[in-house]
Amino acid sequence: MLNKIKEIWQTINSPSHYYSLGILIIAGFAAGIIFWGSFNTVLEATNTETFCISCHEMNNNVYQELKSTIHYTNRSGVRATCPDCHVPHNWTDKIARKMQASKEVWGKIFKTIDTREKFLAKRKELAQHEWDRFKANDSLECRNCHDFQYMDFTRQGKRAEQAHSSGLANGEKTCIDCHKGIAHELPDMAGVEGW
Amino acid sequence: MKALILILLLMPFMVLAEEDIATLRSADISIEPDAPRMGNEENKDMKRKRNYPMQPPTIPHKVSGYRIDLNSNKCLSCHSRRQVTDSQAPMISVTHYMDRDGNFLAEVSPRRYFCNQCHVLQKEVKPLVGNYFEDIDTVLKNKK
């Protein structure tokens, strides 16, 4: 075993006998494009709603709940898909979230929420993760579309205008503080601040 | 047997009676009529006058998507005693914190939990039927 590793290391470590430097550079460049391209393609494929709801855990619970909300259907037909709100759009943050998501693969394999009952029992914990994430990044995924800079208060209701021009404007509060449960049903809210 | 004869005898009258029944569905059962257009929810945030003192106040704002269930009550997240400092919304009346024997409770009484059983929103629509309700002031004035 150790000899074999040594042998491989020697092959890698010694200069090429047959190929010119130019070929190696061009081939390396081409291989890089193919590897990176396919990596990114697969990454983006996992970043679609079709991928999310290919698991029944997502399809039967949270996706069905989303369907009746304004983020799924509304007068102008602009809609948000799962990754729009649940995966950061920025590349480094996205990779970090994707690595975290390996926990979700674990959950899928070991069937942590494979029935409605198990899902409901775990809902508060799962919701809390998302609330914490939104709170920590100042509701970044909301703000990807709902930019405070361009909000026209005169087009908002009186109460909305009041809340947005005070708490949100001075940075004391962030979207998720008030807008919990806008896209999915809520867990038992006893003990949650503001409920 | 007797019952059957009775039914047969009454049949013509039953058919007649059926025609007299007032219905909101003014189309044959086999036809799917066009649904009336949905009205706009009132969203003025202005209190309406109550028609009589015990009337549950109407809701002067949009409540679409407000969930009231075992897990959460969106209305209470502004109107409960605890939340009114932040929301500056009117606190639900003290009767909502009482059980039916008049004892005060720490939380909203379960029998008062489902807000929209009594409190309804208003829509800008033409009323389907007439209404001749007069409030007490009008009644007293007309009596003189």
Model confidence pLDDT, tens digit, residues A74-108? 999 999 999 999 999 888 999 999 999 899 999 99
User: Is B50 domain-assigned?
Assistant: yes
Give a yes or no: residue A96 inside a domain: yes
The CATH number linked to B53 is: 1.10.1130.10
Please indicate, yes or no, if residue B17 is contained in any of the structural domains.
no
| B56-79 pLDDT tens trace | 999 999 998 899 999 999 999 999
**Residue in the structure block whose two tokens are 């189309």:** B27
B2 pLDDT higher than 80: no
The pLDDT of residue B68: 94
Number of domains in chain A: 1
Whether residue B5 is predicted with pLDDT greater than 80 in this model: the reply is no
* CA–CA distance, A178 with A160 (Å, rounded to integer): 11
Residue from B62, B77, B88 to probe the interface with A (highest A Cβ count within 10 Å): B77
Mean pLDDT of chain B: 84
Amino acid type, A87: V
| Dihedral of alpha carbons A86, A87, A90, A93, sign | positive
Q: Is B137 on the interface with A (CB under 8 A)?
A: no
pLDDT of res. B17: 46
Q: Which domain holds residue A61?
A: 53-178
Q: How far is CA B21 from the centre of its chain?
A: 23
Domain presence at residue A152: yes
Complex-level ipTM: 0.76
Q: pTM (2 decimals)?
A: 0.80
* Beta strands, E only, chain B: none
Domains in chain B, number: 1
Q: Is the pLDDT of residue B36 over 60?
A: yes
Sequence-distant (6+) residues with CB within 8 A of A110 are: none
For the segment A173-194, the average pLDDT, to the nearest whole number, is 92
pLDDT at B25: 75
- Angstrom distance (rounded) from CA A188 to CA A120: 10
**B33 or A62, higher pLDDT:** A62
Identify residues of A whose CB sits under 8 angstroms from chain B CBs: 69-70, 157-159, 162, 181-182, 185-189, 194-195
Is A68 inside any structural domain? yes
Q: Is residue A59 part of a domain?
A: yes
State the average pLDDT over residues B85-90: 89
Q: Cβ separation of B76 and A69 shorter than 8 Å?
A: no
What confidence score (pLDDT) does residue A70 get? 93
Q: Is residue B32 part of a domain?
A: no
Residue B15 has pLDDT above 50, yes or no: no
3-class DSSP state of B65: coil
Distance CA A120, CA A37 (A): 39
> In this structure, what are the phi and psi dihedrals at residue A133, rounded to the nearest 5 degrees?
-65, -45
Instruction: Write out the residue range of the structural domain in which residue B83 sits.
Output: 39-125
CA dist., res. A108 & res. B127, Å (int): 53
CB A131 within 8 A of CB A142: no
Chain A residues with CB-CB distance to B62 below 8 A: 157
Higher pLDDT, B22 or B106: B106
All residues of chain B having their beta carbon less than 8 Å from the beta carbon of residue A181 are 67, 72, 74
Q: Is residue A119 part of a domain?
A: yes
- B48 touching A, CB under 8 A? no
Rounded mean pLDDT, A161-168:
91
**Across all residues in chain A, what is the average pLDDT?**
92
Q: B62 touching A, CB under 8 A?
A: yes
Query: To which H or E segment does residue A189 belong?
Result: none
Of the candidates A128, A105, A125, A124, which has an alpha carbon nearest to the alpha carbon of residue A58?
Answer: A105
| Residue with token string 């990807």 | A144
Angle at B130 between CA B126 and CA B135, to 5 degrees: 105
Q: What percent of chain B has pLDDT over 90?
A: 56
**Residues recorded for chain A:** 195
Nearest CB to A181; choose among B62, B72, B83? B72
User: Number of C-alpha atoms within 13 angstroms, CB side, residue B116?
Assistant: 17
Annotate A134-156 with b (16+ C-beta within 10 A) or e (fewer).
beebebbbbeeeeeeeebeeeee
Coil, strand, or helix at residue A177?
A: helix
Greater confidence (A127 vs A195) lies with A127
Domain presence at residue A99 = yes
* Helices within A16-147 (DSSP H only): 21-45, 49-52, 56-57, 63-66, 82-86, 91-100, 102-109, 116-136, 140-143
Smallest CA–CA distance, residue B70 to chain A, in Å, is: 7
Tens digit of pLDDT for each residue in B97-124?
A: 999 999 999 999 999 999 999 999 998 8
Has residue B24 got a pLDDT over 80? no
Distance, CA of A122 to CA of A120 (rounded, Å) = 5
CB spacing of A187 vs B71 below 8 angstroms: yes
Tokens at B82, concatenated? 């605890």
- Residue A168 confidence (pLDDT): 92
Separation of CA A40 from chain center: 15
Mean pLDDT of A124-152: 94
Contact B44, B60 (CB under 8 A): yes
Q: Domain for residue B119, yes or no?
A: yes
- Report how far residue B96's alpha carbon sits from residue B108's, in angstroms, rounded to the nearest whole number: 6
d(CA B118, CA A109): 48
Query: What pLDDT is stored for residue B35 in this prediction?
Result: 80
Q: What is the pLDDT of residues A45-67, one digit of tens each?
A: 999 999 999 999 999 999 999 99
Instruction: Name the residue among B56, B60, B48 with its Cα closest to residue A158.
Output: B60
Query: What's the token pair of residue B47?
Result: 């209190």
- Rounded to 10 degrees, what is the CA torsion of A183, A184, A189, A193? -30
Establish if B20 belongs to a structural domain.
Answer: no
Burial of residue B95, with CB atoms counted within 10 A of its CB: 0-12 exposed, 13-18 middle, 19 or more buried: exposed
Task: For residue B26, tell me if it sits in a domain.
Answer: no
pLDDT at A14 over 90: no
Is the pLDDT score of A195 beyond 80? yes
